[in-house]
Each structure stands twice: as C-alpha cells, then as structure tokens.
Structure 1
Amino acid sequence: MAVSEFLSKAIQDFFVAFGVVFGASLLAGMSSIVTMQPPGPAETMRQLSENLKIWAVVVAIGGSIDPIRFIEHSVSAGYFSPAAKQILLILCAFLGAHSGTELIRWIVAPR
C-alpha cells in the first residue's frame, strides 16, 4: 500500500467514523423532539454519541472481524508493517468517532 493510498484510507476511516457518530446523534436528537420522549434531545444526543463510538469504528474499518484476522495473520507470519498499518487505520477510525462524540458533547453542553 503506497503512502498516498494509506493516507487516503486513514482520512476516509476518520470521516466515516466521525459521520456515523455525528449524524446518528443529530438524527436521534431530532427524533427525541418529534416524539417528545424524555430525557430530551441534548441528553439523547450525548448518550447515543457515547454508545455509538465502538460501532462507528467497526463501520469505518469494514464492518467485520477481517481486519483483526489480518493483523493476527501478519504478525504470526512475521510481517509487522501490514499489521501496524491496519492498527493505525483502526486508530484513525477511533479518533474520528471520538472527535464526533466530543463535538456532540460540546454542542449539548449547558451554557
């Protein structure tokens, strides 16, 4: 995998995870308004953003266990570079999900 291809995939994983958390939280807030359900839109958005973080990472890296298997096979075969790249991609996805969660927390914070 070339450096530009890797960076492209890392940036894509970041924004996919960010979008899953941010978009789903905003839509959950809207649904809370429409249905008038407690605890209210702000708390609904905050709770959902925290609960979705791990699922956003799973979506960004492909939605399956294959990346983890790839890491295991690479390390057991003695190839650490592909495993390190995959771990970095997972880290980028986590950073995107975490950034989305922090932005939602900032939006719903009491002023």
Structure 2
Amino acid sequence: MLGGSLVGAVGALLTHHPPMYTMVRLADQLKIWALVAALGGSMDTLKEIADGVFGWKLSPVVKQFSFLMAAFLGSQTGYLLIKWLAYGYEEG
C-alpha cells in the first residue's frame, strides 16, 4: 500500500495533478487490497475458522482471528502513515 501510494503520487506529479491528494486517495482505495494481500487466501481462512468452530478446536480459530486483526491493523496503519505524510499530524 505504501509503495502503490508513493508511485501513484509520482505519477500524479508527472501528469500535473495534486500529488498529496492523489497519494491519500490511492491509500484509501488500496486499503482493502492490502488487507486481502496480507491474508493470502481468504477461503483458507474461512475454512480454518469453520473447521475450528464446528470441531470445537479453538486454537486455529484464535490464530486466524489474530491474522485478520493483524492484517486490518497493518493496512490501517499504512493508511494513517500516508495520511500523516501528506497532511501532517493534526491533533483532535
């Protein structure tokens, strides 16, 4: 997500568009794809959760939910980093 946003900002600069706005817009659009890429195969994740719940094995379920949370937090952190880079830190 970080690379895609930064390369998009360079492309916007070359085509005379506002690079900071483009970078934040791309980061927002790429957030879901960063989450999907971090998970790898979402069907495997859902299968693992279903097998764990129906088989009363909670260890794989907890592991997969921790993967989901880590992927979500990573993509959100990347988005906030790009937003901070473009607009600066704002309190409130």
Please tell me the TM-score bracket, short chain as reference. 0.7 to 0.9
Residue 97 in 1 paired to residue 65 in 2?
no
How many Å apart are 1:65 and its aligned residue?
A: 2.1
Aligned CA-pair RMSD: 1.6
The higher-RCO structure (CA 8 Å, 6+ apart) is: 1
In the alignment, the residues of structure 2 paired with residue 63 and residue 55 of structure 1 have an alpha-carbon distance, to the nearest angstrom, of 12
In the alignment, the residues of structure 2 paired with residue 60 and residue 102 of structure 1 have an alpha-carbon distance, to the nearest angstrom, of 17
Task: Output the amino acid matched with 1:29.
Answer: A
In the alignment, the residues of structure 2 paired with residue 103 and residue 110 of structure 1 have an alpha-carbon distance, to the nearest angstrom, of 9
Q: Name the counterpart of 2:7.
A: 27
Kindly report structure 1 stretches of 4+ aligned residues shifted beyond 2 Å.
none
Residue 49 in 1 paired to residue 27 in 2?
yes
Percent of residue pairs identical: 37
- 5+ residue gaps, structure 2: none
Report the TM-score when normalising by structure 1. 0.72
- 5+ residue gaps, structure 1: 1-20
